[in-house]
Structure formats: structure tokens, C-alpha cells
Structure 1
Amino acid sequence: MAHTIHSRHVHYGWDNGLEPVLEVEPGEAVEFEVVDASGGQLNPGSTAADVARLDFERVNPVTGPVFIKGAKPGDVLEVEILEFGPARWGWTAIIPGFGLLAGEFPEPYLKIWDLSGTGDRAWFNERIAVPLAPFPGTIGVALPEPGRHSIVPPRKNGGNMDIRHLTAGTRLLLPVWVEGALFSIGDTHAAQGDGEVCGTAIETAMQVACRFRIRRDLRLDEPAFIVPGPLASGQDPRGYFVTTGISDDLMEASRKAVRAMIRYLGETYHLEPAEAYALASVAVDLKISEVVDAPNWLVSAFLPQSLFVR
């Protein structure tokens, strides 16, 4: 890789006043060293007590920014995700006050994953293995508004979108809001379910390589992406166990579907509620099944049966 941005070049907010670390021509590729979402506050020896002590001013750092020459407001920046480097370990946490069921899980929880030499799966316990599909949880460009803006929520510039389908080969399309775009990336995940329901995936540090192009053949107000082939989701050869939630509020429908999944995992596979919630976050896909039959909407939670290997 011709260009590498090392992990010391991180920042904690979108700010169009930041000086770029690197300038590149369209068509060039860059390798980024990404720090895990805790900003290095957690390690393989950490416990749930360390989760409760996280400094939220240091979470979700992104590596960058990169100035892409010729990119101007109104353009679209195409970011081709080329490849990911290996990860040695990861973590999944329930953070008090955070997540879809925050009010029901007030205590911190931490799962440390061994990702070294695990091939294409990571073991949750002796019976359950989660397929690995790395992607960046946070990826975006600077906003047009001056000052520092939190990285935590997704916005029109991208940001913390947690789209699990941004795997190698995908092309992300981002509206450009400032000259040079000022692209940054972080929050790499080894695996995640659609919804990331407990608030964390398999969080890990890794390298990720991207190539940049400027597109002037389309206009976007918010991000879009192009997937090069079939989605992994929906392709499990052993099928799925699916729970549903029905409500006049989509968030409550989502909560009901996840509560039912947690209960199923506890009754069928003897997982503690916090374990089931964490497993759902990294392996269960939430899907909006319908939003047309007022007054109630339906959300489904898909559990791949191939997780259960022993």
C-alpha cells in the first residue's frame, strides 16, 4: 500500500477545521490503522468493571482525515473498501444506559473474544460460533457546519452508521460537504447483527484499506452504497429461528422482537439474559417486515441456526 495512516492520527469529532493528515489523488488507495471503539481503554484482561469506567470522551476515535484532491461540495465521494487486516482479539459490552434495552440491562457486561487463529469464526462459548465479516462501523467525511460534532450518531456525512454490509468489495457513496471531503474511518467490527441491539458488536482494532474516486454522475443528500454480490444475511444454509415484535411504534416492536429472542436463547441454549442480549447484538438481524398495516408495525429478529455447532 503506497499510503498508510497510523493509529496515532485519530480524532474524536467531525470538524472541517482539522488539518488533513494526508492528501491523495482520486484513484489512490490508503491503508488506515484503526483503533477499537473504546479508544484503547479495554484490553484482553479487562472486566465488566472496566466497562463501567469508560471515558466517553475517548470512545469511537476515527483515523484521518484524508484530503482527496479535486473533491468539492456537491460531488459524491466513492469509497471502495478493499481489504481488512487481521485482528487478534475483540470485545462486546453491555454499557449501562446504552442499547435498545438499556432500561432492562443496567449492569455492565463484557465478553472478550479470541480472534487469533480462529479462521472465519469466533467462539462465543463451546457450542456457539459467530461467522466473521469485518467492516468499519464509523466512516464518513467532514460536515459543512463549523466546529466539532459528535461521532456517535450517523448523519448526512456518514459517521457511526454500523452498516454490517460495508465489507470488502463494497463501494460507499458519500455526499461531499467541504473541499477535499476530509475522510476518516474507525470503529472496525469483526462481526455484527443488523441493529447492533446491545450497542456494541465484536469491537476490534484492525487495518482497513480504501480507494477513493470522485463521482459527478449522481447527486446524494445522504449516504448510499453498492454491494458487489449476494448479501450474507439471508443465506444461512441451516435456516433461521425468527421472533417478531408488533407495536404501533417501530422501536417498541424492535424491543419486543429482541426480548423474545433473549427469552428463546435462554430457554433453548441456557444463556444468561446478558449473554443472550450480547449474542443477539453480534449475530441476530433485525428486519422491518412491514410498515403499512396501521396501527401496528412488525419487526422480525433472525437468528442463524448455523451459529450452533456443538
Structure 2
Amino acid sequence: MDMAPPDPRPLLAALGRRDFLRAAAAVTAAGGLVGCSASVAPAPVAATLPDGPLQPGVGDIPGDHYLGSDPADVRWGYVPAIGAAPVLTMRSGQTVTIDTVSHEGILEDQGRDPVAWFGRHGVAADGVLSDAVAVARDYRRTPRDFDADGPHVITGPVFVEGARPGDVLKVETLSAVPRVPYGVVSSRHGKGALGRTASGAPPAGITLDEVMPPPAADGRATGDPARYGNVSVFTAVRDGADGPEAYLPFGEGQEVSFGLRPFMGTMGVAHAAADAENAPELNSIPPTLGGGNIDIRLLGPDSAFYLPVRAEGALFHVGDPHLAMGDGEVALTALEGSLRATFRLTVCRPGEGTAPSVAFGYPFGETPDAWVPIGLSDPDGSTGGQGTDLDVAMRRAVVNALDFLQDDRGMDRATAYAYLSAAADFAVSQVVDRTVGVHGVIPKAHFRS
């Protein structure tokens, strides 16, 4: 959809220095392991949206370390394997600020030229991130295959000293600051909640006329991604009554707006060994036991994400930055947009009681207000076939919730099961990542007695 909003540079100036997101003060760790707290401390320092595009390394860098998304430091469409060479090494308990790059605007169906693609939507060349331009132009680590590769630009891996198989890596998101005042929401043929199946038939429960994008526009038979007929909706961000908001135009002079809720869609540790950097088991699309493309919108600033470590150093990596997302992510993507995110990475040992017990075998989330057990339909990703049954994900989320309540909160299993049914919520994380996900929300306020 080629809507042409006004030049975003005035929008950037208008946004000014508003308080926007919360960032954490930098934490300097002493040598060795730092204690891994099982609670999440709120980040006290207010952050602001910059007055221009947040180019690589420019502006406030609150972390102890900084990592950019240079073509040499990213994998496009794949996550790092066990044993991959790190691009940064840090101590447990230290913080790192990472300039992430959104894949939207640089993909092959958009011309692999972000200056040209965003230019058609009113963005001047100096309003496009230079690292997005560099990745689109200079990435050579693996040959690109739009139909087989994942879309995500994955930055890392980061080697965390002291992390070893059997540990948990606690990932605290301290801040997530938009780097530009715009994002993109995309829907692609054969993908999303209403995508046509590989046979050309509609998915169960809907008719061909209800498929999205409409089959009449499907140009995949051409073999040219630029002619596939995929839909990418440019979305401007400007100041709203309660802070920056995204605006989607429709009809004649109408628009719908919603507030931003930035978070990283992909946060992971190395989970599989592989013979090649573009091996199917490393594809960035399906989430796994190593986390990865988990797409849980609760995991923004002030959250913690616990990941079972399978590799020396954990080999932490990030990608798929989101400005906002609804549960389910039904069209295929969130409101995708590049973020500058700061994380604290801390190693938790077995037996310390410093991480949820479930997290030593399965990803687990936490916010200041809730514990977030997770279930995936096929947690080994592309290995051995791909399971997409949402019921399987739901069952696993419930079992993980039961295990947490029994082992960490001391509830007997029958009472825990009754409690979950009466008072906890389970939500669909996403239905578009091949492996689908469900997450629970267990309010901490229920356990304050």
C-alpha cells in the first residue's frame, strides 16, 4: 500500500524531548557472577525520543557495552548456532545497549533498498538508518533466499562469561527506544492467520474469499519477490495526547491511532548445533527452547526473560524489534520498527533459587506484576517437522504454570490447577511463526499474603 504521509522530519522535531520510555541506570558488575534476583527491579531513569534518526552509536548509550548491527555482526534470517564466534564478550550482571535493525523496508519484496522504499512514503534519505542501508546493501554472510530464509536481522551473539549448559540466562530489558518515527506492518501471501495454504486452499474455518491478502493479488508464481503482491503498510509515529502514537490512515481523511509499546520480538540463546550458518534448524522464524522469535508483548522494559543455557557463554542474540503488537500478531508482523534496546544479562545457577525452576528447561517470563509461563507448539523449531497446533502450546503453557506454582510457590497441584482456571489468564502470543505460542499471566498480587 503506497500511502504517502508528510515528510517525517518535522514529526521528529515536533516530538522533541518528551519522556517516552523508561531506561535503567548502567550497572557495573564486579568480576565473577553477580547474584541473579528472581524479581524485576523497575528502571528509574526516564528516556526520551531523539530529535532525529537515532543513527548507530549516536546519542545516549546507557549500557556498559555497545553493540551495533553492522553487516559483519548480524545474521539475516538465522540465529547463531552453538559454538558460533561471539561479536561481544561481557561479564554476568553487566549491561549492553544494542542498536537493532528492523527487517521491514529492507526485504526483497520491498526492493532491498530502504532509501528508495521509505522514500516512496515520504521519508528523506537522511531519515533512513545507515545500518539498515548497510545490511541491505552489504550483507554477505549467507546467500539470501527470500522464500526459504527468515526475515529477521539478528544481532549477536554475545558471550556472557560464566554461562554454561545447565544454567539460566536472565535477560532484563531495561529500555527500548524507537530509533525512527515510523514503522511498517506487513501481510504476505501464504502467511498470517488467514494465509492460503501451500496447496492453494484456504485454511480450515474460512473460505477462499476470506483469505488475506486476497488470492487474486498473489504473484508468487512469478518467482520475483518484488511482484509477489505482498502488502506493507507504512505507519507514521507522531505526538498524541498521552505520548507518541502510531497512525494508520484509511478511507478519506480518516485514521486510527494507538500508543506504542516497544519490545524485542526476538531474544534468544544458542539452542542447536548446525553444520552451516543457514541450516534449517537455525531459521529465525520459529521460537524454540532457546527463546528466539518468542513475540510476547509483555516482555518490554521492566521485564525479565529467563532462558535455559545450552552453549558456553549462552550466546545471546536479539532481533525483530517491535514498536507495538497485539496478542496473536494475526496479519504476520507487528508494527515493526528499529529499536535501541538496553539489557542486563545475568547468569543463574541451578540450586540458587534465583530463577524460576521451569526456566532451567523452558523459556519463562516475568514482569513487575506477573509471572509469565510459556508454551510452544513445537519447541525444537524446524527439527523433525513443524508442529503448529495451538492446543499443544496451550497445554504446555498450563503444565509449565502448574510446575511453577507447585515447585516455586508451594501449591499442591490440584489447588494450582483450580487457581489457574479461576484467576489466571492465558493468551495467544502469536499464530504466525510456524511454531505458535501461548503465554499465561499469573498476577503477583494474588500471592502477597
Same fold at TM > 0.5 = yes
Larger Rg: 2
* Partner residue in 2 for 1:139: 267
CA-CA distance at 1:287 after TM superposition: 4.1
The one-letter amino acid of 1:71's match is: A
* Partner residue in 1 for 2:177: 85
CA-CA distance at 1:144 after TM superposition: 3.8
From 191, 194, 218, the counterpart of 1:101: 194
Moved more, 177-186 or 81-90: 81-90
d(CA) in 1 for partners of 2:234 and 2:166? 43
CA-CA distance at 1:109 after TM superposition: 1.6
- Is 2:179 the counterpart of 1:55? no
- Provide the TM-score with structure 2 as the length reference: 0.48
Q: CA RMSD in A?
A: 2.6
Segments of structure 1 that go 5 or more residues without pairing to the other structure are 48-53, 232-248, 252-285, 289-298, 300-310
- Is 2:75 the counterpart of 1:11? yes
Question: Are the counterparts in 1 of residues 261 and 324 from structure 2 also a CA contact under 8 Å?
Answer: yes
Q: How does 1:270-309 map to 2 (within 5 A)?
A: 287=427
Question: Are the counterparts in 2 of residues 137 and 189 from structure 1 also a CA contact under 8 Å?
Answer: yes
* Partner residue in 2 for 1:30: 96
CA-CA distance at 1:45 after TM superposition: 3.6
CA-CA distance at 1:250 after TM superposition: 5.5
d(CA) in 1 for partners of 2:173 and 2:99? 14
d(CA) in 2 for partners of 1:17 and 1:61? 20
Q: Deviations over 1:210-254 (max 9, x none)?
A: 0011112335211001111379xxxxxxxxxxxxxxxxx858xxx
d(CA) in 1 for partners of 2:347 and 2:263? 22
Q: What SS does structure 2 have at the residue aligned with 1:40?
A: coil
d(CA) in 2 for partners of 1:22 and 1:37? 22
Question: Are the counterparts in 2 of residues 91 and 203 from structure 1 also a CA contact under 8 Å?
Answer: yes
- Provide the TM-score with structure 1 as the length reference: 0.69
- Is 2:257 the counterpart of 1:129? yes
Between structures 1 and 2, the one with greater helix share: 2
The one-letter amino acid of 2:190's match is: G
- Is 2:310 the counterpart of 1:177? yes
Q: Deviations over 1:50-102 (max 9, x none)?
A: xxxx9353620111110000001010000000001223211001111111100
Q: How does 1:232-271 map to 2 (within 5 A)?
A: none
d(CA) in 1 for partners of 2:290 and 2:365? 13
* Partner residue in 2 for 1:21: 87
The one-letter amino acid of 2:69's match is: S
Q: What SS does structure 1 have at the residue aligned with 2:336?
A: coil
Q: Deviations over 1:185-204 (max 9, x none)?
A: 01000001111011111011
* Partner residue in 1 for 2:167: 75
d(CA) in 1 for partners of 2:427 and 2:309? 30
From 300, 321, 327, the counterpart of 1:194: 327
CA-CA distance at 1:46 after TM superposition: 5.5
CA-CA distance at 1:120 after TM superposition: 3.1
Moved more, 74-83 or 13-22: 13-22
d(CA) in 1 for partners of 2:248 and 2:192? 20
CA-CA distance at 1:161 after TM superposition: 1.0
Q: Are the structure 2 counterparts of residues 170 and 199 from structure 1 closer, same or farther at C-alpha, using a change threshold of 3 Å?
A: same
Question: Are the counterparts in 2 of residues 39 and 61 from structure 1 also a CA contact under 8 Å?
Answer: no
- Is 2:233 the counterpart of 1:111? yes
Segments of structure 2 that go 5 or more residues without pairing to the other structure are 1-62, 122-144, 197-210, 218-229, 372-388, 392-425, 429-437, 439-449
d(CA) in 1 for partners of 2:291 and 2:320? 13
Question: Are the counterparts in 2 of residues 169 and 228 from structure 1 also a CA contact under 8 Å?
Answer: yes
d(CA) in 1 for partners of 2:427 and 2:289? 22
